[in-house]
Amino acid sequence: MSFKRRIIVCLITAMVILPITGCLSISADELFSLPEVSAEYLKLQAQINEILNQGAEFAPPTGGPNRQAVQLVDLNGTGSSEVVAFFAVPGDSSLLVYIFELIDGDYVIAEIIDDGVGTDFESVRYVDMDGDGVKELIIGWQMGPALRYMSIYSIVDFHKQEIVKGVEYTEISIFDMTGNGNEDVVIFRMPTPEAGAVAEVYSLMQDGEIVQQEARLSTGIESISRILQGNLIGGSPALFVDSDGSFENGSLVTDILAFHSDIFTNISLYPETNVSEDTVRQEWQRMASADIKGNGIIKVPTARLLKTQSETEYFAIDWYAFRSSGYPSRELTTYHNIFDEWFLILPDDWREKVSIRREDSVPGERTIVFSYFDEVDGWHEDFLKIFKLSGDNARQRAVEGDREMLMTEGTAVYAFELIAPPDSFDLTFNAAMVRDSFRLIYTDWITGSAS
């Protein structure tokens, strides 16, 4: 059996294996026998063989959420799946999409998308953009190492119609931007010598019309590091785009895209500078936007220098949520101990009154000390220690003396100790507050990633 045929057998076999539940009585011979392939899939295999024998090769998408060469998709909402297969013809840069429909127990070719040209399928997504129950195909064509084009096909009654043709893009995000229940397609393009970076949203109306709107991204961005879907204050949907680049006050910026007064807008962009000035931060402050409260509203972080008794600099993170008007509102403040992988939500009355330092003199203990700072006399008094403990007796050390255990994560044990009586210095701190405010850090809040 040729390599090409082995791929077909594996694909078809994988498509017919169903979940098995309950108790089974099965013999050893039956256990080791191959699953029986249904007649319709054997006929499908014959159809695919014919395409391959004509010189085509499998060409699975290289990116995106769907990366199989042969995919099962219910395109028309009937409850039964069609088969979508991806091929390339070596030598002439042709890319082909075959759609097979099951009719009377036989898979037949229902439609062919044969106008694709490029080196690969970059991605494919299936999205019902107008709520009619029929999924549109959003196909990304890879034209070269850094050149991609997107097309959107409407497949009604298995007749293709290219409703968006050959739009250059860097990233694609699928999101209900308008909040009407139908998903939209948002693409991003990086700057060129002729134009700045932009985002474009494509919405499909029920009458079949495509509506496209464009919004500028911050001048100076060079690459997108993360696209986060979420909400603004008030619940309006928005995309939060973290990008690296070169700006007057930093090297990381978040552009916030939303509909405001029915217009697709970068609500955080300052028209005077064409930069989202409120969200610019330095590389050393690098922290991605996040739904840090878990309420669906995305917050953008900004670092603020804390007082300290050491030469090391420490920072609080002020997290800002945004209204659809673009107005930011500070929602909470945290201290992030990235090295020890925890953070603490700081009460508002700690602002400008608390200093911080590290103590690592005891083996197997990494300690952050919070102190009250008297602005008049300039003295510090410790009131809270938070520990990350390691070693064979970490659990025992987590409850020594006045310490209380917070949680364990792998081999690490986290604990705290109140050094001063609760709520001293007119500050909110007590055991319940520490337990409720302590969290572990998620890696993607620091590094970020495009999606």
CA 208 to chain centre: 30
Cα angle value 380/420/400 (rounded, 5°) = 120
How far CA 34 is from CA of 13, 16, 19, 45, in Å, comes to 9, 12, 15, 17
Identity of the residue numbered 299: K
Tens of pLDDT, residue by residue over 424-445, are 999 999 999 999 999 998 765 4
Question: Under 8 Å CB-to-CB from 67, ≥6 apart: which residues?
Answer: 60, 61
pLDDT tier, 195 (very low <50, low <70, confident <90, very high otherwise):
confident
99 has a pLDDT exceeding 90: yes
The pLDDT value recorded for residue 29 is 52
Burial 100-110 (b: 16+ CB within 10 A, else e): bbbeeeebeeb
pTM of the model: 0.85
Tens of pLDDT, residue by residue over 232-288, are 999 999 999 999 999 998 899 999 999 998 999 999 999 999 999 999 998 666 778
Q: Which long-range contacts (CB under 8 A, 24 or more apart) does 107-114 make?
A: 107/40, 107/41, 107/43, 107/44, 107/47, 107/83, 108/47, 109/47, 110/82, 110/158, 111/155, 111/158, 111/159, 111/160, 113/137, 113/139, 113/153, 113/160
Asked whether 448 and 225 are in contact (CB, 8 A), the reply is yes
Residues 128 and 90: their CA atoms lie apart, in Å, by: 32
Residue 158 burial by Cβ neighbours in a 10 Å radius (0-12, 13-18, 19+): middle
35 has a pLDDT exceeding 80: no
Task: Provide the total of helices (H) and of strands (E) in the chain, helices listed first.
Answer: 6, 28
| Beta bridge pairs of residue 439 | 343
pLDDT tier, 447 (very low <50, low <70, confident <90, very high otherwise):
very low
Tokens of 299: 């917050």
Q: What percent of the chain has pLDDT over 90?
A: 76
Cα angle value 16/82/93 (rounded, 5°) = 105
- Name the DSSP letter for residue 34: P
Residue 396 burial by Cβ neighbours in a 10 Å radius (0-12, 13-18, 19+): exposed
26 has a pLDDT exceeding 60: no
The pLDDT value recorded for residue 3 is 44
How far CA 310 is from CA of 296, 313, 333, 374, 385, in Å, comes to 37, 8, 22, 16, 16
Residues 118 and 99: their CA atoms lie apart, in Å, by: 19
217 has a pLDDT exceeding 50: yes
CA 393 to chain centre: 38
pLDDT tier, 450 (very low <50, low <70, confident <90, very high otherwise):
very low
How far CA 50 is from CA of 31, 39, 55, 275, in Å, comes to 33, 17, 9, 55
Tens of pLDDT, residue by residue over 325-369, are 999 999 999 999 989 999 999 999 999 999 999 999 999 999 999
